[in-house]
């Protein structure tokens, strides 16, 4: 088995790398995206839509096939948007709770339609039999809502006043490491592996977290360069293909040094600089590359040369979204090569996609019957 050259490694890792500016109300943010497959076809997926004055971004980690994650990519934002539209003119003393409930309802309704065979691929059973985890970001002004079912994850990168970086988890993994989740599954579904997911006949109801971001402060340093001083700088959304290899803290520290190398900030972490690689303009690509670097103990070429399906024993599909809460074009370190343009592809969520589906079968009973025979 021939090890891949550095050029071939970069061609593979950068193949799906994208960057764009996102206009959200009166703010301009920068979004970096990338994914790398291990499965063929890849079982991960993503979504990106506006919902009126809100912005939605999702990452989905399928298992047992690509079909369920594909349904989520095409439909979840529409289901949540429809519920948000229903509460838009509602008089309420607790808008935050209304939005959280709307997100949960959207998740549950889509899962119910999946389990009733409402979506056809080659076979309407496939989305439910495959299943998928999901993490969804909903931005309403500076209010951030993160809904998570399964072990995709959202981590905020925050720079404190002293220049130190902090990793703030905005999601809670729903799996075997979560003792509360283990207890719930043992009571509700004895014998099933502890997990929340779409499909699988378990539950897709998400755990929803609310966080109000503090946009980063901008100052001018001693070199008369514009730099970020403090605040909430970025949010990482990723499938477990990233988190299996990098901790929350490592990912945020890697991002800190990425920001330093591109002259967004003046501080960097010396230990991280020695143990990881920093050679990519796209932040999502950088995180993927460093997850491979740690997984392979520095031999990325060898890891990427392992063919499918054997590579599944060594690495997972990985999808990474990094949303910066500022316009990266405004900083000197970006240079012409790193400049990004405004997004022209992100569309308003199509509410028609959330219309009632045909109930073809009760797949919950079908799956439960299959598992009882195991």
pLDDT digits 0-9 by tens, 125-179: 888 888 999 999 999 999 999 999 999 999 999 999 888 999 999 998 986 565 5
How confident is the prediction along the chain (374 residues), in pLDDT tens digits per residue?
678 999 999 999 999 999 999 999 999 999 999 999 999 999 999 999 999 999 999 999 999 999 999 999 999 999 999 999 999 888 888 999 999 999 999 999 999 999 888 786 556 788 888 899 999 999 999 999 999 999 999 999 999 988 899 999 999 898 656 555 445 445 554 444 435 788 875 677 899 999 999 999 888 888 888 889 899 999 999 999 999 999 999 999 999 999 999 889 998 899 898 999 998 889 999 999 999 999 999 999 999 999 999 999 999 999 999 999 999 988 866 667 778 998 878 899 999 999 988 887 766 565 556 555 55
Residue that the structure tokens 């095409």 belong to: 74
Question: pLDDT digits over 340-374, tens only?
Answer: 998 878 899 999 999 988 887 766 565 556 555 55
| Domain CATH number, residue 176 | 3.60.40.10
Task: Please tell me the total count of domains within the chain.
Answer: 1
Say if 1 falls within a structural domain.
Answer: no
Say if 374 falls within a structural domain.
Answer: no
Rounded (5°) CA angle 168-171-175: 130
Say if 369 falls within a structural domain.
Answer: no
Say if 333 falls within a structural domain.
Answer: yes
Say if 373 falls within a structural domain.
Answer: no
DSSP collapsed to 3 states, the chain? CCCCCHHHHHHHHCCCCEEEEEEECCEEEEEEEEEECCCCCCCEEEEEEEECCEEEEEEEEECCCCHHHHHHHHHHHHHHHHHHHHCCCCCCCCHHHHHHHHHHHHHHHHHHHHHCCCCCCCCCCHHHHHCEEEEEEEEECCEEEEEEECCCEEEEEEECCCCCEEEEECCCCCCCCCHHHHHHHHHHCCCCCCCCCECCCCCCCCEEEEEECCCCEEEECCCCCEEEEEEEEEEEEECHHHHCCCCHHHHHHHHHHHHHHCCCCCCCCHHHHHHCCCCCCCHHHHHHHHHHHHHCCCCHHHHHCCCCCHHHHCCCCEEEEEEECCCHHHCHHHCHHHCCCECCCCEECCHHHHCCCCCCCCHHHHHHHHHHCC
Say if 219 falls within a structural domain.
Answer: yes
Say if 360 falls within a structural domain.
Answer: no
Which residues form the domain of 224? 6-355
| Cβ atoms of residues 6 and 301 within 8 Å | yes
Supply the pTM of this predicted model: 0.91
Say if 363 falls within a structural domain.
Answer: no
The closest alpha carbon to 239, from 138, 306, 152, belongs to 152
């Amino acid at each position: 088995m021939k090890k891949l050259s550095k050029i071939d490694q970069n061609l593979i890792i950068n193949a799906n790398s994208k960057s764009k500016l996102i206009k959200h109300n009166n703010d301009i943010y920068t979004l970096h995206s990338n994914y790398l497959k291990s499965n063929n076809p890849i079982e991960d997926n993503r979504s990106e839509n506006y919902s009126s004055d809100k912005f939605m971004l999702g990452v989905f980690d399928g298992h047992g096939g690509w079909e369920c994650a594909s349904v989520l990519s095409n439909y979840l934002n529409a289901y949540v948007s429809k519920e948000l539209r229903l509460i838009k003119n509602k008089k309420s003393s607790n808008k935050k709770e209304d939005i959280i409930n709307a997100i949960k309802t959207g998740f549950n309704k889509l899962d119910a339609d999946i389990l009733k065979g409402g979506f056809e691929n080659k076979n309407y059973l496939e989305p439910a039999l495959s299943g998928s985890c999901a993490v969804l970001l909903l931005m309403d002004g500076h209010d951030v809502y993160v809904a998570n079912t399964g072990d995709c994850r959202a981590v905020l990168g925050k720079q404190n006043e002293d220049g130190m970086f902090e990793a703030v988890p905005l999601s809670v993994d729903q799996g075997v490491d979560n003792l509360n989740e283990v207890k719930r599954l043992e009571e509700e579904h004895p014998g099933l592996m502890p997990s929340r997911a779409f499909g699988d006949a378990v539950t897709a109801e998400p755990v929803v977290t609310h966080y109000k971001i503090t946009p980063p402060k901008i100052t001018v340093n001693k070199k008369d360069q514009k730099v970020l001083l403090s605040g909430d700088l970025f949010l990482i959304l990723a499938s477990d293909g990233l988190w299996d290899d990098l901790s929350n803290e490592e990912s945020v520290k890697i991002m800190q040094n990425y920001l330093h190398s591109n002259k967004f900030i003046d501080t960097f972490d010396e230990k991280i600089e020695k143990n990881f690689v920093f050679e990519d303009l796209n932040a999502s690509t950088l995180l993927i590359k460093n997850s491979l670097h740690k997984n392979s103990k520095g031999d990325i070429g060898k890891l990427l040369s392992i063919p499918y399906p054997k590579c599944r024993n060594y690495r997972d599909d990985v999808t990474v979204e990094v949303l910066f809460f500022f316009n990266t074009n405004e900083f000197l370190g970006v240079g012409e090569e790193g400049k990004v343009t405004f997004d022209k592809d992100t569309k308003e969520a199509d509410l028609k996609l959330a219309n009632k589906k045909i109930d073809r079968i009760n797949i919950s009973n079908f799956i439960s019957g299959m598992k009882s025979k195991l």
